[in-house]
Chains A and B, each alone.
Chain A
Amino acid sequence: MKHLFLIFTFFSASYTLLAQSYSISGSIKDSTTGETLLGATIYDKQSGKGAVTNEYGFFSLTLREGEHTLIISYLGYEDIIQNIDLTESKKINIELKPVSNNLDEVIITTNTNNKSQTGNIIAGSINLKPQDIKKLPALLGEPDVTRAMLTQAGVSSVGEGTSGFNVRGGNIDQNLILLDEAPIYNSSHVWGFFSIFNSDAIKDMKLYKGGIPARYGGRASSVLDIRQREGSNKQFKGEGGLGLLFSRLTLEGPIKKDKLSYLVSGRRSYFDLAFPLIKSLKGNKVYFYDLNAKLSWDINEKNKLFASGYFGADVMKLKFDDTDEDQQNTQQNTNESINFSWKNSTATIRWNHIFSERLFMNLSGVFSRYNYSLSSENSSGGPAGSASNFTWKSAVENWILKPDFTFFQNTETKIRFGVNSTLYRFTPAKITGNDTSINTVNFGTEKGLEIAPYVSYEKKLNKFSANIGLRYSWFGNLGPKKVSFYDAQVPQTVSSITGSRSYKSNEVIKNYHGFEPRLALKYDLNNRKAIKLGYNRMFQYIHLISNSYSTLPFDIWKPAGYHIKPLEVNQISAGYAYDTPNRKYNFSVEGYYKTFKNLVEYKNGADLFLNENLETQLLTAKGYSYGLELSGYKTKGKLTGNANYTYSVTKRKTTSSFNSENINSGNYYPSNYDRPHIFNITSNYALSKKWSVGAFFTYQTGRPTTYATGKFEVGGNQFFTYSDRNAFRLKPTHRLDISFTYTPKKKANRRWSGNWVFGVYNVYSHKNPFSVYSSVRNNQLKTFQYSVIGAPVPFITYNFKF
C-alpha cells in the first residue's frame, strides 16, 4: 500500500511540474463552530474553475500559476472573496460565517443552492440539511428524517406509521442507510412512527436514488448517507427541544480549542409518563431513547481522527393482568408480563489523511449491530405454544473496514478508489427458558463476508461531465451451518428434504460475485440547464424476510447462500435539470426503468416463525419498476418550498418451476407499496422576523390490497375466500400538516435563544385508509377500514440554543 501512495504522490508532483499548475487544498469550515461544511464551493473567478468539498469537508483545486480571485460559498453562509497569488501548492483552511438571524431581511442571498440539480453529475440525488427537516410540520413536533425523505419525489411508503421508506420500487431492505458510514438495520422507533435519527446531531443527508457511485454497495435500490456533526471546536454550545412527548439535548464544545471537540446528543420519549393514569396501561412502560456521540481530533494539517457512535433503543415492558376485579377472590392472577426491546448500536473510527494536495484518504473502521430481545413470564402465544418463561435474542452484526482514496488529478479529473470489506454475522434466534418443557434453541450464527474493490473516474470536459465507476463484489456465505437438500421434483418443504450437509466454521458454503458498473453522464446546455443519464447495477447479498404489510423489528435478515440467491438490480435513468435565470427556482424531470432479479417473496400462508428451513417458505421473484419524477424548488425569498409529482409502477412475479406455489398463478402483480400517483407540496413562508408558517400536503394513490370475495363454512365457523394478492386498491390518501414558528428577538449579550413551534398534523382530520378487513361478528359479516391516524394531532415544541 505504501508503494501505491508513493506512486500517486510522484504522479501528482510530476503533473504539477508539467502543467505549471499548483493545487489549493484544504477544508471549508463554519467560523463559529469549526464544523466542516460538506458540499461548499470554491470558485476561481478568472478561470471559471471550481471545486466542491467532499463528504469529509476536503477540497482540492488545481489552478495555473498567478493571481486568482477565489469565491467561497455555502448555503446559509456569507460568501468570502479571497485573492491569492499562486506560486506553489497551498493548503488553506477557510472559515465561513453563518448568515445572521438578526439581518433585517429574512432572505438568503448566497449564490449556492443545494437544491439545484444542474451542478451535480448524478441524476436522482437529493440533499437535505437538518434545517430542511426542522422546517417541516412533524408528527407530535419531532423533526423526522424518514418523514422528510417521504416528502421527496420517488420516495414512498406502505402507509402512515410504517417503518422505513421505499425508493423507486425497492423494498425497504434495499436502502443502504449509513450513519457516519455505519449501516443501520432498523431506522425506526415506536414500530415505524418515528425515525431513529436525532436531527440535532446531524450535519448532512444525501439520498441517492439512481446513478449510485461505485463506492456504495451492498443494497440494491438507494443510499441514504447521513453524516453526524463534529461538535464545535471553538466554544461550548448547547441546543435542544422540549416537546409534549419527546425532549432532546445536544452539548458540544472544545476539549482543546481548534484541535479536539466533542458532541453528545440525547433524546428520550416520555409518553409512558401518562400510563399510570390510564387503567389499561398501568404498570406498562413504552419509551425510546437514543444517544449520539462524536469526538473529532484535528491532529495536524494532514491528519484528522474521528470517533463517533450511536446507541438507541425502544423499550417495552408490558403487563397483562387477566384478573377480573369482581372475581379477585375466586380467580387466580396470571401476572403475564412481556419485556421487549430492540436496539441499534454503531461505532465508527475514521482517519482522514492528506498524502499530498491531490491525494486524500479516509480510512474507516465500522461496527454496527441491531439486536432485539424478548423475554416473557407466564405468557402464552410464544415460541413454546405454552405459557412459559423464556428469553429470545436475535442480532445482526457488521464489522467493516473501508479504505477510500480520492486523487484529484486536476480540477477536471478526480479518481476515487478503495475497498469495502464487510463481515456479516446473523444470529436469527437464541431461546433459553427456565421452564423444563423448553429446550435451549440456537439456530447458530450465520456468517457472510463481502469484499468489494471499486474505482470511479470523474471527468469534466467543457460542457460534458462523466462519472464512470466499476465495483466488483464477492460474497461468501460461511459456515458453520447445516444445509438441507431437497427433492428437485417437488416444491421445497420440510417433507421434501432428502439430506443435509454440515459445513465447518468459516467454510465457504456458497459464493457469489459480479461486476457492478456505474455510470453518470451530464451535458450542460448552459450554466442553468443540463441533461443527465445514469446507469447502475447493484448486488444485494442480504434479504429482509417479512410477510407483513409493514416490516417488524423481529423480521429476519437472511444472507444469500446455498438456496437463496443475491438480488440484482439494474437501473437506467435520465433527467433534465433547469434553474431559472435568477436561480430562485430549480426544476428537474427524471425518468427511470429498473429491473429486479432474485427478489425474495414469501409463499401464501408462509410460516416464518422459528423456521430453520426458511427457504421452504420463500419463492424467487423478478420484477420491474418505472417512473417519472417532476420536482420544483424555490429556495430564495420569503416563500420557499418544494412541489413534486411522481408517477411510478412497481410489479413483480414469482418464478417457481412449480406453478401450484406461484403467487397469483405466476402473473405479475403490484408490490405492497405500488402507488402510481404521488403529489407532495412543502412550503415555508416567513411572515415576519418573528413568525413563519410551514405546511405540507400530500396526495397518494391508495396502496394495493387483497379483499375477501366470498365465504364458506367449516365446523360452524365462517371463512373467506380472497382475491389474488394485491388485486384491489385502497382509496387514495391525502393529508395536510401545518406548523407555526415563533422566534422571539434574541436579547443582546445573552447566549440563549429559542423558538416555539406549534401546529397540527392531519389538519382536516382525513381518515386515510391503511387497511380494509372483513370479520364475522355474531354471524354478521362486516367490513372495516382502519386508519392509523384518523384525527388532527396538535403539537407544541420549544427549541433552544445557548
Chain B
Amino acid sequence: MKSIYIKIITGSLLIFCIISCTKEISLDVTHEPQTIIFGSISNETVPVSIRIQQSVPLQDSSSSKPVNDASVSLYAKDTSGNTNLITNDFAINQGIYTSTQSISTIIGYSYWIEVRLTDGTLFKSKEELLKPVVLIKNTGIKNGDVLEIEFSDPGDDTNFYKFTVELFNEGQLVSSNTSQSNDVVFNGKESASVEVDLFRLQDDDEDITVLYDEIKVTFCNINFSSYQFYLNQSLQLEANDSESSGDPSQLFATPPVNLLGNITNSSSNTVVLGNFTVNSLSTVNQPVSN
C-alpha cells in the first residue's frame, strides 16, 4: 500500500517526469558478510522456527548463505520475573532452526532467543511481551483488491498491529502481503479497521491476474520494536517494487536503512539485522469462489 504522501508527490510531479530521467548503472561496492536472524513465537502451540543466514554480495547468484552450526536457546520470563529456558533443542535444515517440540506460550509472559555462533559471538533478542490477542471480527474485500480487517482496539494500551493476507490456490501459496499500523487514529474504537492490498504487485504488474481459492488473514498484536522493524521492512519492499524509471518520489525518499530489529550482538553491543517477533495472533481462513 503506497503511502498517501508518495501518492501526492508522484501525482503532483508527474509533469516533471517529462524532464527527469532514470538510467541503470552498476555499483562496485565492497561486501562484508553480516549475520541475519529471523524468527517468531506466537500464542499458537506450534514448533518455533528461527532462520539464521549470512548476507551475500549483490552480484552473487544465490540470495543467501545459511548458517547451520549455531546453537539456539529460547527463553521465557513469567509475570514474577522468573526466567526459564523453554528449549534449546532445534532441528537444523538449510539455516532454519525448528524446535523439535511444539511450544505453548502464556499471554503476559516475555520471550526471547539467544543465538551463539561457533566463533563465540552471542546474539540476544529483546525480551518481548506476549500481548493479549485482538480478535478479527470480520474481513471483507473492497474494490476487488483491498482486504479490510475489522476488530475492536483495546483502549487501555498502545497497540501495534501487523496483518498479513495470504492467498492460496489449490493449497499452494500464490501471494502474500503484509502491512502494519499503530492505533493512534482508532485507539479504543469498538469498530476499528485496517486495510491491506490483497496482492503485492510491482508497478508494471497491473495486468497480471492472480487466481486464488482461499484467503488466510493473520492479525498480530505486537510490540513497538517489532512494529518499527516491520515498518522498515515494508518500506524496503515498497522501494524494491517501485517503478524503475522517472519516479519523482525519489526526491523525497527516506535514505535506505538496514533492517535492524530487536536482536543485539552482545559482544560488540550493536544491533544486528533481523528480528525475533512475539506475536499474539488471530487468524481467519476463508474459501473464495472465483
A binding-site residues for B, Cβ under 8 Å: 161-162, 190-193, 271, 274, 278, 280-281, 284, 286, 316, 318, 320, 322, 331-332, 334, 338, 340, 374, 376, 379-387, 390, 431, 433, 436-439, 441, 493-495, 547-550, 552, 554, 604-605, 607, 610, 612, 659-661, 665, 672, 705-723, 725-726, 728, 767, 770-777, 781-791, 793
Contact = CB atoms under 8 A, between A and B. Distances in A.
A721 B21 CA distance: 26
A436 B152 CA distance: 12
A783 B26 contact: yes
B20 interface: yes
Contacts of B191: 436-437
Contact of A787 (B21, B34, B148): B21
Contacts of A320: 7, 11
B98 interface: no
A382 to B, nearest CB: 4
Contacts of A548: 252-255
A552 B3 CA distance: 14
A437 B11 contact: no
Interface string B7-48: 111011111101111111111011111101010000000000
B98 to A, nearest CB: 16
22 contacts: A318-B11, A320-B11, A332-B144, A385-B180, A385-B181, A385-B195, A439-B189, A441-B184, A548-B253, A552-B5, A604-B258, A708-B256, A709-B32, A710-B56, A711-B60, A712-B36, A712-B64, A781-B58, A785-B23, A786-B250, A787-B20, A788-B248
Contacts of B36: 712, 714
A322 B143 contact: yes
B201 interface: no
A387 B63 contact: no
A770 B251 contact: yes
Determine the main DSSP class of A at the interface with B: mixed
Interface stretch (B78-86, B210-218, B227-235, B281-289): B227-235
B189 to A, nearest CB: 6
Given A605-B232, A665-B270, A773-B253, A728 B29 contact: yes
Interface stretch (B69-77, B101-109, B113-121, B238-246): B238-246
Contacts of B176: 715-716
Determine the main DSSP class of B at the interface with A: mixed
A495 B32 contact: no
Interface of B: 1-9, 11-16, 18-27, 29-34, 36, 38, 51, 53-60, 63-64, 142-146, 148, 158, 176, 179-182, 184-189, 191-195, 197, 202, 223-225, 228-229, 231-233, 236-237, 239-242, 244-245, 247-248, 250-260, 264, 269-271, 273
A615 to B, nearest CB: 14
A274 to B, nearest CB: 8
A331 B260 contact: no
Given A286-B12, A712-B64, 7 more contacts: A281-B14, A385-B180, A386-B148, A709-B58, A710-B31, A772-B25, A773-B256
Nearest to A761: B19
B103 to A, nearest CB: 20
Contacts of A782: 24, 244
Nearest to B236: A719
Contacts of A334: 143
B47 to A, nearest CB: 17
Contact of A770 (B26, B228, B250): B250
A191 B5 CA distance: 12
A384 B186 CA distance: 7
Contacts of A161: 16, 251
Nearest to A384: B185
Contact of A610 (B29, B182, B225): B182
Contact of A711 (B14, B63, B269): B63
A718 B193 CA distance: 30
A710 B16 contact: no
Nearest to B57: A710
Given A604-B257, A774-B58, A381 B4 contact: yes
B258 A785 contact: no
Contacts of B24: 782-785
